[in-house]
Structure 1
Amino acid sequence: MADPVLSLKDVELTLQGNAGPVAILRGVSLDVHRGETLGLVGPSGSGKSSLLMLMGGLERATGGTVQALGQDLTALDEDALARFRRGRMGVVFQSFYLIPTMTALENVATPLELAGQGDVFDRAATELRAVGLGARMNHYPAQMSGGEQQRVALARATAPRPAILLADEPTGNLDGASGKVIMDLLFDLRDRHDATLVLVTHAAELTARCDRVLHLRDGRIEGESSHRKPASRSASGTAI
């Protein structure tokens, strides 16, 4: 089997609280392989969102190692982490975190420009059309519904064609109909960009579409369930 895209070994995360240190993650080890979709589930406070943030280098482990695409994230400083994520990782949050003074097109073009890629507005427009917002490119976030804003966030995360896509409760702030649209788009974008997807969710419809689901409790992996095997891929990355 090929080397994992993400590899965590004995990961610990302890944060300082008002009453002293609080253990968020306790000795978590796992591998995620190319093309796999992994769901992280568990009760509130189980550590699933913190685990996702560690995978993206957005939180720093206090013990153990976190490797992404062969790079030890625990050895990088904040600037190096930001450079590493650029173009390699896309992150979608429950809150949309769009820049309110920028149009949808500008929001999606920004990470492409930061990554030094060319034709940023043409590529941003292509991504917005892919999520059904071809007619909303010049609208500002305040002029859009929650579902439309999350579509912009999805387009922004996937525009650089990242190898890893991380999603933290991507449908948590949406109504049922909008959430269903986002679910379908998330998996479509995963397939279109040949990305590995890791997501935190409480939605049974999302976990049912994952290849593997990890169940967390009290900062540990309590169990694992498999729903389907990822498609085999040729050396070129094409599903076979």
Structure 2
Amino acid sequence: MTHPDPVIELSGAALSLAGNAGPVEILHGIDLTVARGETLGLIGPSGSGKSSLLMLMGGLERASAGTVRVLGQDLTGLSEDALARVRRDHMGVVFQSFHLIPTMTALENVATPLELAGHADAFERAAEELAQVGLAQRADHYPSQMSGGEQQRVALARAAAPRPEILLADEPTGNLDEANGGAIMDMLFGLRDRHGATLVMVTHAPDLAARCDRVVPLRDGRIALQDTPA
């Protein structure tokens, strides 16, 4: 498969983390390219390395071998500050467990990354994104006053507000019931369509994986099969 405009490129990428009995090998020699605008699903059993691979792509974990290139830049040699700037300027990340700031309202949670990036219209853009996920009337509510589905919608709005080139989602529907999970799934693909972002997601949900352009199965820290269309 050719990739005319690669956004993410991993070559021989490996991840080893320290454990009580010595290093633990998490990922082994991953070769993977994601094209601009593509939707990629990472699937596999628990412990197969899906989330760790996503963390490598986002610079949240550092490869112990090989290279990870994002938008042409090799992440492996960057400082933590430089990695944070890459995420701030180019990525939106959605986690299973929301990671909202409990002392901030929904509007403030969404506006914070925009303020950090120096956008003068941070609160206007935050309000717009909350409206896009159906939460215009909940902007002044705190996370503790919102349901799990509403909190995940705030997290989606926060990830989308900076108009990222890359959206990374780790089990975005994992903590939600079927109805809320379906709504979040529709919103996630809607964000991709609105902003033209490349979307990479980890999921156990077959219906979510089936909506991706491509599915990559992992097992024991390796790509299990040649990646094929969903």
Q: TM-score range by the shorter chain?
A: over 0.9
1:127 aligns with 2:157: no
1:146 aligns with 2:148: yes
Amino acid across the alignment from 1:67:
R
Please report how far the alpha carbon of residue 165 of structure 1 lies from its aligned counterpart in structure 2 after TM superposition: 0.1
Stretches of structure 2 lacking an aligned partner (at least 5 in a row): none
Tell me what 1:100 maps to: 102
> Any idea what the Cα deviations from partners look like across 1:129-185, whole Å, max 9, x if unmatched?
000001000000000000000000000001000000000000000011000000000
Over aligned residues, Cα RMSD in angstroms? 0.7
Q: Which has the higher helix share?
A: 2
Q: How does 1:36-75 map to 2 (within 5 A)?
A: 36-75=38-77
**Cα separation, 2, equivalents of 1:155 and 1:51:** 24
1:157 aligns with 2:163: no
1:226 aligns with 2:221: no
Stretches of structure 1 lacking an aligned partner (at least 5 in a row): 228-240
Identify which range, 44-53 or 16-25, moves more after superposition.
16-25
Please report how far the alpha carbon of residue 225 of structure 1 lies from its aligned counterpart in structure 2 after TM superposition: 2.4
**Cα separation, 1, equivalents of 2:89 and 2:194:** 16
Amino acid across the alignment from 1:71:
Q
**Cα separation, 1, equivalents of 2:183 and 2:221:** 31
Tell me what 1:85 maps to: 87
Identify which range, 15-24 or 149-158, moves more after superposition.
15-24
Amino acid across the alignment from 1:193:
H
**Cα separation, 1, equivalents of 2:195 and 2:222:** 31
Please report how far the alpha carbon of residue 3 of structure 1 lies from its aligned counterpart in structure 2 after TM superposition: 3.1
Identity %: 74
SS of equivalent to 2:6: coil
SS of equivalent to 1:87: helix
**Cα separation, 2, equivalents of 1:106 and 1:47:** 33
Tell me what 1:197 maps to: 199
Please report how far the alpha carbon of residue 110 of structure 1 lies from its aligned counterpart in structure 2 after TM superposition: 0.2
**Cα separation, 2, equivalents of 1:211 and 1:2:** 15
- Of 31, 34, 38 in structure 1, the residue corresponding to residue 33 of structure 2 is 31
**Cα separation, 1, equivalents of 2:210 and 2:24:** 32
**Cα separation, 2, equivalents of 1:177 and 1:138:** 24
TM-score, structure 1 normalization: 0.93
TM-score, structure 2 normalization: 0.97
Amino acid across the alignment from 2:137:
A
The structure 1 segments of at least 4 consecutive aligned residues displaced by more than 2 Å after TM superposition are: none
Tell me what 1:234 maps to: none
**Cα separation, 2, equivalents of 1:3 and 1:198:** 16
